Amino acid sequence: MTKLVNRKMTFNTKYRQLLEFVVEAIIRISGYSAVVFVGLIFLFLMQESLPTFGEIQARDLWSQRWYPIENYFGVLPLLSGSLIITLGAALIAIPFGLMTAIFIAEIAPLWLREILKPLVEILGGVPSVVLGFLGITVLAPLVREELYLPTGLTAFTGAVLLAGMAIPTIVSVAEDALDAVPKAYRDAALALGATRWQTIWRVTLPAARSGVLTATMLGIGRAIGETMTVMMVTGNAPQMVSGLGSLFISLRTMTATIAAEMGEVANGSLHYHVLFSIGLILFLISLTVNIAASAVLFRARKRTERLLS
């Protein structure tokens, strides 16, 4: 009996060692794979978009008319359209999302919190095509009538819907970050005589800064990459942006352009390569945003370390 148990033990140890090794290898590969995939995507985008510059000048791309069926490939209207719609969405989503997160994490009683958090997360799961449909049938006519615009299919309509999609992401991540702030911080602030608002604004929010910044970045990332909703409600007119007032005209985004036109182009044509160049621009924008966010976080952490040491 003891012999049997012993044999079983050695078998189990060996088996466990093997399992340990395999699991470790899988985890390591998963970890590296993200880097590899980003690298491969970048290489692929470069390979498909670089032929553009052999066929047309950079200044043809940097011009103001987008009409690909007659070889006008000015990406400025699309670039500025994407940027201003994202900016509009951020202006709506960041304050609204952060306030919601603060309410859920700091102010709402426990029972309300248990209801609100799952509801917000369900909102985040609504498919974008459903939101787009609501935008066409409900929001667009409302925007036209209430703001006295010629049409409701405007950048503003798109920005509102994108904000609606970004808010659940922002709320969910920011709420987690606020929740992770140790209770001792709040107790200390309140003990020193700070009001509830002062505690939230001066202590809890700064302590959760990195999480809140991540929440904002994820929200903006969701907004700039969104395709279906903007294609349905922004009118897709490739007009140049000339200030914040352009939020109230129809604009065309880079994502909607790729989605609307990629199906039609012949493989390897100039139009095909230009669409990939637009994809490359989108990729570089999100890379810049992420690097900037990491840099801010890194500097902030450095400062905290210096202060604490």
Partner 1 sequence: MRVTGRRYIIIIFVIGALALSACGAEISRSQNANMVDSVTLTNKGSDTIVNLALAWAEAYHVTYPNISVSVTGGGSGTGIAAMINGTVDIANASRKMKEKEVANAKENGFVPVEYVIARDGIAVIVNPQNPINRLTLQQLSDIFSGKITNWVDVGGENRPIVCLSREVNSGTHVYFLESVVRMGNKNDETFFSPSTLLLPSSEGITSEISHNPNAIGYDGLGYVTDAVKTVAVSPSDDGLYIIPTIKTVIDNTYPISRSLYMYLPEEATGYTKDYIDWIYSEEAQSIVEELGFVPVN
- Nearest CA among 54, 80, 118, 114 for reference residue 274: 54
Of 138-146, 160-168, 190-198, 288-296, which segment contacts partner 1 by CB under 8 A? 138-146
Q: How far apart are CA 121 and CA 115, in angstroms?
A: 11
Which residues ranging from 63 to 122 are in contact with partner 1 (CB under 8 A)? 65, 67-70, 77
Write down the least CB distance from residue 234 to partner 1, Å.
9
**Cα 44 to the center of its chain, rounded Å:** 22
Crossing angle for the helix pair 209-225 and 76-102, to the nearest 10 degrees: 140
34 binds partner 1 (CB under 8 A): no
Between 187 and 264, name the residue whose CB sits nearer to partner 1: 264
Cβ-Cβ contacts under 8 Å for 296 (sequence gap 6 or more): 213
x/- mask, partner 1, residues 150-179, rule CB under 8 A, reads xxxx--------------------------
Between 237 and 289, name the residue whose CB sits nearer to partner 1: 237
Between 6 and 33, name the residue whose CB sits nearer to partner 1: 6
Angle 80-287-89 from CA coordinates, rounded to 5°: 45
Q: How far apart are CA 139 and CA 177, in angstroms?
A: 32
Write down the least CB distance from residue 238 to partner 1, Å.
6
Contact yes or no for 93/170 (Cβ under 8 A): yes
Query: Interface with partner 1 by CB under 8 A: which residues?
Result: 65, 67-70, 77, 136-137, 140-141, 144, 150-153, 231-232, 235-240, 249-250, 252, 260-261, 263-267
